[in-house]
Structures are given as structure tokens and as C-alpha cells.
Structure 1
Amino acid sequence: MPRLNVPAPEDVPAGAQRTLDDVEAQLGFAPNMFKTLASNPAVLDTVTTLQGTMSRVLDGRTRHSIALAVSQANGCGYCLAMHTHVATEFGGMSAEDIELARAGSAVDPRRAAAARFAQQVVESRGRVGDADLADVRHAGYTDAQILGIVAVAVQFLLTNFINNVNQTDLDVPAADPVDATVSR
């Protein structure tokens, strides 16, 4: 059960309602996280603006992989479910791609390096080692792209924290547990 109040539809401020309508048009429904954020239009606007801006930083599959890796590292069940749904329905990712991303990996070595680095950023609270930077550079990422990986990871930290605090009700099927044998 959520711990933060979701405004009744008639109590959603007009600007927030427009944002919810935009999210619904994009996804086919307004997820519970966004309905909760509607109680604070500035936060709703911050999250949706950040998502829009970060959608231009890296390719979609890499962003989905980072979302899944970060959400797994933070134990955010809501975000794992939602990112699994979005990555499958809109990102064309297979069940294997999703499982690997949650483990900080991928079939594609370059995407695997980004997911692994994002998890390292989260797990180390940004205090990654020189070897972590060398690994992501070796995969072909420039310093500008590494900044993008960090920014995308932080974007998902924000929503993970919001949903972990709220214990947001799932509005898509729960993500399956990760196979412990999947290697990074």
C-alpha cells in the first residue's frame, strides 16, 4: 500500500493533469508513480523534464539497461516492473536482455559496460575506481558519454528513491526474480 497520498483526479492541478495526460498518451496509461507525483507539480515537472532531456543522451536500449541495472542495485520493485514493461513493450528488449541488464551486463559488450558502470556508480555512491573508468572507456565511451551514463543513472536513482519511499503499488506485472547464475 502506498505511503504517500495520490490526489483524487478532481484535485490534480491543471498543469499536472496536462503532464499526466501526456504520460498517458505516451505509455497508454498514467503509471501510479506519476499519479503520486501529481500532488507536487514541481516534482512531477522535474521528473518528466529530466526524463525527456535524458532520452537524448544515450540510445534507448542503453538507457533501458541502465534503468534496470540501477533499479536492481536499489531493490526498487516498482521500477524493475515498470522498466521491464517499458523495455519489453517499447524498447524491443528480450527477456534475456532484461535479465542481463539487471545483472549489470548485456549481450552487446558496449551496452554491458554502460550497465556495469552505472551499477558501480550506484553501489560506490559515485566513488568509482580508475579501473571502472578504464573499463567503460575501453568499451568506447567518451568522457562526455560517461557523464551521460552517470546522469542517466542518477535520473533512475531519483525515481527509485521516490518509489522505495512511497512503496508505490504496481500497475504492471511484477518483474521476475533474477537468476543468480547470470554473470556480470
Structure 2
Amino acid sequence: MKTFAVPTREQVSETNKAIFDNLKKAIGMVPNLYATMAYSENGLANYVGLQSGKTSLRAKEKEAVNLIVSQVNGCTYCQSAHTVIGKMNGLTDDQIIGIRKGGASFDAKLDALVKLAKNITENRGKADSALVDNFFAAGYNEGNLVDVIILIGDKTIMNYLHNLTDIPVDFPLAPVI
């Protein structure tokens, strides 16, 4: 299989250079997986637009979905990145491991979200009706469900990109569970 190198700023289009500069200014680095998207003239801008869109989900909820989807899809890169980001959003190491194992016993509402996101990802959008009912019973609404689906799609894009390219992980590696 082809080996993928992480493109440098000098190797990408002017549009992607500007995005690299914005990422470096905002977070202090251009994560390797974002840089890899810059192989595409439009891919990185399209993805950043998707990822930075407004959502009804809180930061901790987004990270819970990112963690469980990345676990289901077997993406070491995203498990590692979202372990760091999850901690920045108030999740503990034990909570992150619990989420990656498929639940959030420390928070009933978050638990309903994690279980549904896991089931949707595993079943390619065909969720168990009891989990959908539990999601709504936990206090989520139809708009939240749409936002969960968008987030699953967002994370699946990056999971698949890393799983295919296997570019180096530039975050502390998440524990294997």
C-alpha cells in the first residue's frame, strides 16, 4: 500500500497555507491529520467548515461522541487527539476510558448519548429504537439527534482518513483498551 507523508506548508496550495496559518495561530500547531487533508485543494477547507459549524451539543457531549465513534472505527489518531481535547473539556481519564468502552455511568444523559452514538456508528445509521427512545427520554430533542449524526459523520471522515493513511499521531497516544 502507498505510504503517505504529512505535507508541509510549502507543499500545499495558497488556500491551504492560509488554513495552516490559522490553525497554527489558534492551536499552536497544524495537526498531522489536518495537514493530510491538504492533499485536496478543497478538502481541508470543507472539513474545517463542517467541524466549526454551530451545534446544539455542549463541548463535553461533542467529545464523548468523538471518543466513542473513534473507538468503534478503530482510529488511534482520533482516540489520542480527543483524549487530550476531552480532558480540556472537563473529562477525567477514567471517564474517557468509560466513554471509549461504550458508556458514561457518571452522567445519565451523557450515557444515553454515548450508547446511541456507538450504536449508530456500529450499525451504519440503523439505531436500536430503545436507544433512540432513551436518548429522547434523557432530555435530547430531534435537533440534537441531527447534530449527533452530523458529528458522527465529521468524526468518521477523519477516522477513515487516518485508518487509510496511517500518518503519524502527533498527540500523546491514548491508552489501548
Superposition TM-score, scaled by structure 2 size: 0.92
What SS does the corresponding residue of 1:68 show, helix, strand or coil? helix
In structure 1, how many angstroms separate the alpha carbons of the residues matched to 2:68 and 2:170?
A: 21
In structure 2, how many angstroms separate the alpha carbons of the residues matched to 1:10 and 1:91?
A: 33
In structure 1, how many angstroms separate the alpha carbons of the residues matched to 2:26 and 2:91?
A: 18
In structure 2, how many angstroms separate the alpha carbons of the residues matched to 1:72 and 1:7?
A: 26
Does residue 141 of structure 2 align to residue 137 of structure 1? no
Structure 1: state its 5+ residue gaps.
179-184
Which residue pairs with 1:11 in the alignment?
A: 11
In structure 2, how many angstroms separate the alpha carbons of the residues matched to 1:26 and 1:102?
A: 27
* Contact preservation (8 Å) 1:32, 1:168: yes
In structure 2, how many angstroms separate the alpha carbons of the residues matched to 1:133 and 1:122?
A: 13
Report the CA distance between 1:29 and its aligned residue: 1.2
* Contact preservation (8 Å) 1:23, 1:30: yes
- Aligned-residue Cα RMSD (Å) equals 1.5
What SS does the corresponding residue of 1:53 show, helix, strand or coil? coil
Which residue pairs with 1:37 in the alignment?
A: 37
In structure 2, how many angstroms separate the alpha carbons of the residues matched to 1:19 and 1:153?
A: 23
Report the CA distance between 1:104 and its aligned residue: 2.3
Equivalenced residue count is: 175
Structure 2: state its 5+ residue gaps.
none
Report the CA distance between 1:15 and its aligned residue: 1.1
In structure 1, how many angstroms separate the alpha carbons of the residues matched to 2:85 and 2:14?
A: 27
* Contact preservation (8 Å) 2:68, 2:102: yes
Superposition TM-score, scaled by structure 1 size: 0.89
Q: Percent identity?
A: 26
